[in-house]
């Protein structure tokens, strides 16, 4: 670590999730010779961790969804790098240095130039989805560092006031009452009742290699067309379609794509994903791939009660940006209503299997 750190001439702190105890820091650094890199420091769990059993606690278990070593191991894995070659996806070149005493690791990554996912147009989103299809046609990711059971573990780690979904006063809050469609309450009750069924459905689908954090802040499209995926911290086993089922809602929830065009984004991404799968030789069922997208709505079961809990806050934000409360809740309410549709469609498709 000291060799490159000694060459750093300037540092710029970059956004990251401050709650996740795996990530100590993310910086854009300029070296004395003018090169720009992204420096990301990972930390191992210790007895002094602020919340060793909290929802974002780091784990030493290489199969745990929040294993602290996974991103370093992924970048060192030549087979993973080889598997994305020619798919339309890419990983940033990266060197990994272990921190003395096993206390962590430092990633020195390319500072990728191109169009960030926050500014993707429909063609960029479709290119990402097609790349995912080509990559995931290769099947499961057999690596000792790959996560297992991510969807169940991650979604089950969220601590929210679930009872608010049945609380009349919570739904009478002006922001909620004015911004959300009236049918959302009964729809979300259906989704919550179906949580275990949806998880079992997702777990029963064909398995494949997944990034498991595909969303616009982790995507950059190079001028040459490849979409670089950043932050491989959760990567591992998932269902076919699961990554697309994360990418589409997240783009809307954080106001990087208008909720009024949710269905357009969904159609473009699902169509491109299926085409990518077929192009790369996948011979599975189209219905199963679509079911993987739809049933992934269960990942967001916690979001509506959290929004009910936060509706009275003085300030609101989408990801890192301050947001107008009325606009934010209207956009998220419409997106949540789409996820109710996903739930209903997933259960209907499952009955036909």
pTM of the model: 0.95
| Mean of per-residue pLDDT scores for the chain | 95
Q: Are the C-beta atoms of 1 and 41 separated by less than 8 Å? A: no
Q: Which residue has the tokens 């009275």?
A: 312
Pick the closest to residue 87 from 279, 254, 247 (CA basis). 279
Mean pLDDT value across residues 92-115: 94
State the pLDDT at residue 143: 97
Measured distance CA(275)–CA(64) in Å, rounded: 32
- Tokens standing for residue 13: 């702190």
Q: In 212-321, which ranges are continuous DSSP H helix?
A: 242-253, 262-279, 286-295, 303-310
State the pLDDT at residue 120: 98
Does 236 have pLDDT greater than 90?
yes
For 253-301, how does the pLDDT look when each residue is reduced to its tens digit (9 = 90+)? 999 999 999 999 999 999 999 999 999 999 999 999 999 999 999 999 9
- Taking CA atoms, 258 is separated from 137, 166, 251, 292, in Å, by 30, 28, 8, 23
């Amino acid at each position: 670590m000291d060799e490159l750190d000694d060459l750093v001439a300037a540092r710029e702190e970059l956004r990251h999730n401050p709650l996740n105890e795996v990530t100590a820091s993310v910086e854009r650094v300029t070296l004395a010779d003018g090169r720009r890199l992204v420096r990301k420091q990972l930390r191992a769990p210790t007895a002094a961790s602020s919340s060793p059993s909290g929802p974002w606690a780091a784990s030493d278990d290489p199969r745990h969804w929040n294993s602290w070593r996974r991103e370093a191991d992924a970048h060192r894995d030549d087979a993973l790098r080889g598997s994305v070659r020619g798919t339309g996806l890419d990983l940033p070149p990266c060197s990994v240095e272990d921190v003395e005493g096993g206390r962590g690791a430092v990633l020195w990554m390319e500072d990728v130039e191109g169009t960030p996912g926050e500014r993707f147009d429909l063609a960029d989103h479709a290119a990402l989805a097609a790349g995912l299809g080509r990559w995931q046609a290769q099947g499961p990711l057999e690596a000792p560092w790959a996560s297992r059971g991510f969807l169940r573990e991650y979604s089950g780690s969220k601590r929210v006031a679930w009872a608010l979904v049945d609380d009349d006063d919570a739904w009478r809050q002006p922001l909620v009452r004015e911004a959300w469609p009236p049918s959302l309450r009964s729809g979300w009750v259906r989704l919550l009742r179906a949580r275990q069924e949806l998880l079992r459905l997702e777990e029963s689908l064909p398995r494949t290699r997944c990034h498991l954090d595909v969303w616009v802040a982790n995507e950059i499209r190079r001028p040459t067309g490849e979409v670089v995926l950043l932050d491989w911290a959760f990567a591992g086993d998932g269902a076919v379609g699961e990554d697309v089922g994360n990418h589409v809602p997240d783009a809307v929830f954080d106001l990087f794509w208008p909720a009024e065009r949710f269905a357009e984004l969904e159609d473009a991404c699902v169509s491109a994903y299926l085409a990518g799968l077929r192009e790369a030789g996948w011979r599975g069922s189209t219905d199963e791939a679509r079911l993987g997208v739809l049933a992934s709505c269960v990942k967001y079961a916690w979001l509506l009660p959290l929004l009910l809990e936060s509706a009275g806050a003085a300030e609101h934000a989408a990801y890192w940006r301050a947001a107008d409360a009325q606009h934010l809740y209207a956009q998220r309410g419409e997106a949540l209503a789409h996820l109710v549709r996903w739930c209903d469609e997933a259960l209907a498709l499952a009955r036909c299997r």
